[in-house]
Structure 1
Amino acid sequence: MSESSSTVDQAWLASAVVADSPEAIVVTDPQGRIDLWNAGAAKMFGYSAEDALGASLDLIIPVKLRDRHWRGYEHTMETGVTKYGDTLLGVPATHQDGRQLSIEFSVALLRDDAGTIVGIAAVMREVSERRATEKALRAKLAEAERTVTALGAKVADLTNRMTRPTMSVQGWSEQPCTTTSFDA
């Protein structure tokens, strides 16, 4: 470690990273109330820190997903285990103006010195534009696959139609032979 980095106040450094991160960084207590809401979260979700601090995470969780979210949250608080670990998770979220966002996030369980979970930190990134592009690309790929399948069927049909007359010209026919002798 260099001399200059060893003199940096680590608490200040961590605070500066959180404050200036373009990513949304949110910390909640064991009941799911928001304890930390950085500028990235304010920009992403539209709520000021003043509005978000002390509020429930329901601020950003779509109504239809809340029951599932809280079951998982409570399970994590009780067991100290999150099924997502260090996996990046993609979920829908809600902006203050009501529009749906696509976000990806990872979580870290926060523990006190005794090992008790005192909260969860989430680092989130909005990926709505990327998700929309991926969805459009999947639709175009499906359309291209349907076109290729249809073209394949047309080529097979054309090949069959072209082969039958050629076989007839070459002397092959599906008609039964009407003579038993080749003497004309």
Structure 2
Amino acid sequence: MKQLWAPWRIEYILGPKPDACVFCLPATTEEDEERLVLYRGARAFVIMNKYPYNNGHIMVCPYRHVMALANLPVEDTHEIMDLVRRCTVILKEHFNCEGINVGLNQGQAAGAGIREHLHFHLVPRWNGDSSFMAVFDEVRTMPEHLNRTYTALRPYFCRGEETV
């Protein structure tokens, strides 16, 4: 029997599950650190994925609760793409990654875990980042804790638009 210890998951397993959409943010910023919100724009925001595929896995989401990209006003889609662009610059600068997967899973058949509220994923990648763990044992390793990554990335979003 194989065992992989992940004691931080107990918080999610035993904790209360949200009744509301996890991407519908409250108007106040009080919970931003707890929710891992990195940046709030006028029409969209940047948030870290609590269950990432890789360190630095972040998402860009509109404030509007919509399933389809076609249901967003053009102004919202423009801000989202500006944020996706900005995030690629920040991830490259901070993580020195060799690539970035950028994707939108629109609809359940496309793999959307939370299909009701569209969101773009940005996942930093490095050559060989899966290493032998994923190949031999279908396991990924996360070398840095989410809170530490949040603390490291947050200043990039606070310093303004000069990173774009």
TM-score, normalised relative to structure 2: 0.29
The structure, 1 or 2, with the larger RCO (C-alpha pairs under 8 Å, 6+ apart) is 2
- Structure 1 or 2: more strand by fraction: 1
Larger radius of gyration: 1
- Structure 1 or 2: more helix by fraction: 1
TM-score, normalised relative to structure 1: 0.26
